[in-house]
């Protein structure tokens, strides 16, 4: 009797090993998932003490128009029905300098209240804005009181308020312009 040799085929009992491409793709997917989880954990940790719910009421003066006091509610009423951005920044913050162009473009399209946190007197902030070519008129927060009210302890920080005044989004650190615009869109839809 002749025995028949079994040729490798689909019916073979030996499991086929994944191709190198599949192993590489799986490795990339796992690394991306770990990176995403790390960024999410860092974001949650950085924003853990920031205000949520209805935006607290604060009063401020602007750098260029020092002497004229205004409340957040009064400023928001000038932009009724729109989501707004509170941008906490500082003249001494290197990441804020990287974001200046992006924020300046955002200021031209959306209601943004830049808040100069612990950056000196109004004249210093106004001179910095002018020298840097920024088209802002920042709210002054020389002692960090407004920042503390919102639970902000680092710059740059962004807080997006929905049209009804509730806090829709909180972000700390380097942020893309399109990311902020998506958050504004979400605040408009959800709020």
How far apart are alpha carbons 10 and 30 in whole angstroms? 29
How far apart are alpha carbons 37 and 135 in whole angstroms? 37
**Residue environment code for 135-154, b if the CB has 16+ CB neighbours within 10 A, otherwise e:** ebebbbbbeeebbeebbbee
Whether the per-residue pLDDT at 88 is higher than 70: the answer is yes
Report the CATH number that the domain containing residue 132 is assigned in CATH: 3.40.30.10
Q: Mean pLDDT for the chain?
A: 86
In a domain, 96, yes or no: yes
Where does 94-176 show beta strands of DSSP type E? Answer: 112-117, 139-141, 157-161, 167-172
User: Mean pLDDT lowest for which of 30-34, 90-94, 113-117, 126-130?
Assistant: 30-34
Torsion of CA 43, 157, 135, 91, to 10 degrees: -120
In a domain, 32, yes or no: no
Give the confidence band of 135 by pLDDT, cuts at 50, 70, 90. Answer: confident
Comparing 4 with 156, the larger pLDDT belongs to 156
Q: Which two tokens stand for residue 91?
A: 């003249």
Domains contained in the chain, number: 1
In a domain, 117, yes or no: yes
Range of the domain at 134: 59-190
How far apart are alpha carbons 147 and 125 in whole angstroms? 16
pTM of the predicted protein model: 0.77
How far apart are alpha carbons 75 and 58 in whole angstroms? 10
How far apart are alpha carbons 31 and 165 in whole angstroms? 38
Whether the per-residue pLDDT at 16 is higher than 70: the answer is no
For the chain, how many helices (H) and strands (E)?
Answer: 6, 7
In a domain, 33, yes or no: no
In a domain, 20, yes or no: no
The pLDDT, as a whole number, for residue 106 is 92
State the average pLDDT over residues 141-145.
94
Whether the per-residue pLDDT at 2 is higher than 70: the answer is no
Cα angle value 182/81/61 (rounded, 5°):
90
State the average pLDDT over residues 49-56.
86
The pLDDT, as a whole number, for residue 36 is 77
Q: Helix, strand, or coil here: 49?
A: coil
In a domain, 12, yes or no: no
State the average pLDDT over residues 53-72.
88
In a domain, 151, yes or no: yes
In a domain, 102, yes or no: yes
Q: Helix, strand, or coil here: 141?
A: strand
The pLDDT, as a whole number, for residue 33 is 84
The pLDDT, as a whole number, for residue 37 is 79
Q: Above pLDDT 70, what percent of the chain?
A: 86
């Amino acid at each position: 009797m002749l025995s028949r040799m079994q040729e490798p085929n689909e019916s073979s009992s030996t499991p086929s090993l994944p191709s190198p491409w599949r192993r590489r793709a799986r490795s990339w997917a796992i690394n991306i998932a770990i990176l995403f989880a790390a960024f999410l954990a860092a974001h949650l940790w950085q924003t853990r003490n920031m205000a949520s719910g209805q935006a607290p009421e604060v009063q401020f003066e602007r750098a260029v128009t020092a002497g004229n006091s205004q409340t957040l509610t009064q400023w928001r009423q000038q932009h009724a029905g729109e989501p707004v951005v509170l941008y906490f920044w500082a003249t001494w913050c290197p990441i804020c300098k990287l974001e200046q162009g992006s924020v300046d473009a955002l200021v031209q399209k959306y209601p943004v209240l830049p808040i100069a946190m612990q950056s000196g007197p109004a004249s210093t902030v106004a001179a910095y804005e002018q020298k840097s070519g920024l088209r802002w008129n920042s709210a002054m927060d020389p002692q960090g009181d407004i920042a503390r009210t919102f639970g902000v302890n680092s710059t740059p920080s962004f807080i997006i308020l929905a049209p009804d005044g509730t806090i829709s989004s909180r972000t700390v650190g380097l942020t893309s312009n399109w990311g902020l615009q998506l958050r504004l869109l979400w605040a408009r839809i959800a709020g």
